[in-house]
Amino acid sequence: MLMLLPIVLALATDPGPAASSAPPPTPLTEIGRVRALPACVPIVAHANGAISQALDNDRTLAIMSTNAHNIDFDKLNSLQRRNAVEVMLRQAEAIRVASSSGDVEVKKLREYAAGASDPERKAELKAFADALGGALYRQKKAAVEFMRDVTIMRGREDAAEAHDLMRQTNPVPPNLGAQGMATTPPILPGVPDSYNKQFKAIGDTLDTLATGVQADEGLAADHSIAATSGC
């Protein structure tokens, strides 16, 4: 049975000193009771629907990145490796589906923004919806990018396997060098020299895309109260 490494969720606090003096993005949270002004209940419902999908995606992306960096893919046999990747592919598909569901909620928010009579709240609601929609789009892009990278890797593996099978079925005489000795056959392209290196690069890509997600979520958080109150 395949045993994955323990999943380590992304820490809520910064593990080290910030590389930049810029303040971190405002954490995105579901919208609760608005104290100063009455909440716009339908808007809050759609907003929380989109926020919930975005936060679920954040957690899934963190799990995928952790496993991409920490699973020792090179020590797994081909079946174990395929099973591990299948789990991650299902996680990526869940992100893609959740992002699309969240986008439906964002479209409702944009409709409310278009129909708002107060110019200030109209601008706040549009900014909130656009930022939240941007975060969901980036999450979907990360999921699709992961699935694309895995598809390319598997396609190259399958091509190399087919080439090797043909070579075994129809062997050709070895190439003879200048001294009459058989030369070493060339390494078939397609199979990575290190799966760990490949998946670390994929994990780094997920982390880079997650940085953009956090920036969009922070902008949405900054506009969330003004956008969902004052009806």
What pLDDT does 230 receive? 75
CA 136 centroid distance within chain: 10
Q: Where are the domains of the chain?
A: 41-170+189-227
Whole-model pTM?
0.77
CATH match for 41-170+189-227 among 1.10.8, 1.20.58, 1.20.1450, 1.10.287: 1.20.58
What pLDDT does 164 receive? 53
Regions of the chain where pLDDT drops below 50: 1-19, 34-36, 182-190
What pLDDT does 7 receive? 45
Secondary structure (H, E, C), the chain: CCCCCCCCCCCCCCCCCCCCCCCCCCCCCCCCCCCCCCECHHHHHHHHHHHHHHHHHHHHHHHHHHHHHHCCHHHCCHHHHHHHHHHHHHHHHHHHHHHHHHHHHHHHHHHHHHHCCCHHHHHHHHHHHHHHHHHHHHHHHHHHHHHHHHHHHHHHHHHHHHHHHHHHHCCCCCCECCCCCECCCCCCCCCCCCHHHHHHHHHHHHHHHHHHHHHHHHHHHHHHHHHCECC
What pLDDT does 192 receive? 59
